[in-house]
Structure 1
Amino acid sequence: MTDRKAQLAANLAHVEERISAACAATGRAREEVTLIVVTKTYPASDVRLLAELGVRHVAENKDQEAGPKAAESADLPVSWHFVGQLQTNKVRSVASYADVVQSVDRVKLVTALSTAAVRAERELDCLIQVALDAESGERGERGGVAPDGIEELAAKVAEAPGLRLGGLMTVAPLAGPYAGREQAAFERLMEFASSLRKAHPAANMVSAGMSADLEQAVAAGATHVRVGTAVLGVRPRLG
């Protein structure tokens, strides 16, 4: 076993312990929570090692990095999640490799994703990114649609060819009423998710929580957590 693989295995084991403990503390079954490893800034060789270690979901936030990495890893049994703010001029590329786009936050993006998915003869799961720091009609500083825009955007995704409405995603806000109150933020997201499922019963994914706050996300009821640093290490500084 290489040093890097041993390091990743140890980090994964620690993250697994954290998720399992968080599930046990709130009476949830461990299988209710899916780990997504965020591999941004790390090479495709790490994706390969992660796959060997049993990871089945990886995420990226920039197409220019994700595209080549996904191509290099095309033989691996992993699902690719796109979690970054997505410009429409990158949609055609992202739709060629992403299985899930977690950062849908505007109607224009839904239209572009639908067109690209149909062209690529693929079906993409889409999560609506919710900005819990956004006032009515505004986008949050980390992307996302204001809570009062969820229903309209969900309807657009649900009726768009080539797209499936998967559920909701958020990033813990740095500002606004939920700053520093991660669990309260994630509990609020769960309320929106419950409302969404009344109209769209299959939209049961709730993606929340990262390395620093995955316990709070699990306690709130998240179905997916996005962990990078805790698995791969502190990210290298890019030039």
Structure 2
Amino acid sequence: MTDGRRIEELRAGLARTEERIRAACADAHRDRAEVSLIVVTKFFPATDVVSLLELGVRDIGENRDQEARAKVRETAELLGGARLPRMHFIGQAQRNKAGSIAQYADVVHSLDRPALAEALDRGAARADRTLDVLIQVDLDPEPDPGRGGSAPADVGRLAQLVEGLERLRLRGVMTVAPLGMDPDRVFGRLAEVSSELRSDHPDARWISAGMSGDLESAVAHGATHLRVGTAILGSRPSHR
């Protein structure tokens, strides 16, 4: 049973975010239909996912395998056979979790190394599924190994590997703007990496960039997928 007050909070958050996206698209002379909204539900309950579906959301993002796997299962139980959302895994993926992620994720945004690509491909084959994947690009001048991401110079080689794997479908690139860096600079560079990638892989058109605090900049630089949590769901509850 959905909480009426909570669903109104979510409705308001979605409306505010939609207004921002529409304004950003207008400023960038882009069609709103070019930009997909992924609502990130990290640390929020499956009941929020169900409420978001009732409000028309179809794309949900998670970044921790254990939480995501359990939430997908609980959401399915709550929906009783109704259509599940399109699940996006957006967090750093460990190779030993790839088989699990491949069972429920429709899109993996954080592919950043050959070993992970091969592990996801094997996991998808075991689950008899095909995964859409994006190459995560690290654009920090001082890369942090804990955050993940492929160096721009390595994106082409990784893309070639992905194209040769049977169960992965290369869709484009993703980045997270490093703290303290100008998002315009980061997303502008990601647009360049995307253009270079499309010269050899023309179907890899997706650009996953922009969150609650910098979505306008992402839209201005061509983002096709925005990953928004706090602006819609509110401050995250404490990690349980």
Determine which of 40, 57, 72 is the counterpart of 1:55.
57
Counterpart pick for 1:148 among 153, 157, 169: 153
Cα offsets for 1:76-125 (capped at 9, x unmatched) = 34100001111111111110000000000110000100111111110000
- The alignment's TM-score, normalised by the length of structure 2, stands at 0.94
| 1:115 counterpart = 2:116 | no
The amino acid across from 2:95 in the alignment is: T
Per-residue deviation, residues 155-198 of structure 1 (Å, max 9, x unmatched): 11111110000100000012xxxx43101110110111011111
Question: TM-score scaled by structure 1?
Answer: 0.94
Residue 139 of structure 1, CA deviation = 5.8
Q: Identical aligned pairs, as a percentage?
A: 55
Q: Is the 8 A contact 1:142 1:171 kept in 2?
A: no
Structure 1 runs (4+) deviating above 6 angstroms are: none
- Corresponding residue for residue 26 of structure 2: 24
Which residue in the other structure is 1:84 paired with? 91
Corresponding position: 1:95 with 2:102: yes
Q: How does 1:182-221 map to 2 (within 5 A)?
A: 182-221=183-222
CA apart distance, 1:238: 2.0
Task: Give the whole-Å Cα distance in 2 for the aligned partners of 1:139 and 1:146.
Answer: 11
Give the drift of 1:73: 2.3
Structure 1 Cα separation of the partners of residues 159 and 73 of structure 2: 30
Aligned CA distance change for structure 1 residues 229 and 57 (closer, same or farther; 3 Å): same
Q: Distance in 1 between matches of 2:239 and 2:146?
A: 22
The count of aligned residue pairs is 233
Letter in 2 for 1:58: I
Gaps of 5+ in 2: 77-81
Higher relative contact order (CA 8 A, sep 6+): 2
After TM superposition, give the deviation of residue 142 of structure 1 in Å.
2.1
Distance (Å, rounded) in 1 between the aligned partners of 2:42 and 2:238: 12
140-149 or 180-189, which moves further after superposition? Answer: 140-149
> Within 2, Cα distance between the matches of 1:208 and 1:198?
20
Give the 3-state SS of the residue equivalent to 1:102 in structure 2: strand
Task: Please list every run of 5 or more consecutive structure 1 residues that lacks an aligned counterpart in the other structure.
Answer: none
Distance, in Å, in 2 between the alignment partners of 1:180 and 1:226 is 18
**In 2: Cα distance, 1:134 partner to 1:165 partner:** 26
Change (3 A) 1:152 1:139: farther
Q: Which residue of 1 aligns with 2:176?
A: 171
CA RMSD of aligned residues (A): 1.3
Partner of 1:33: 35
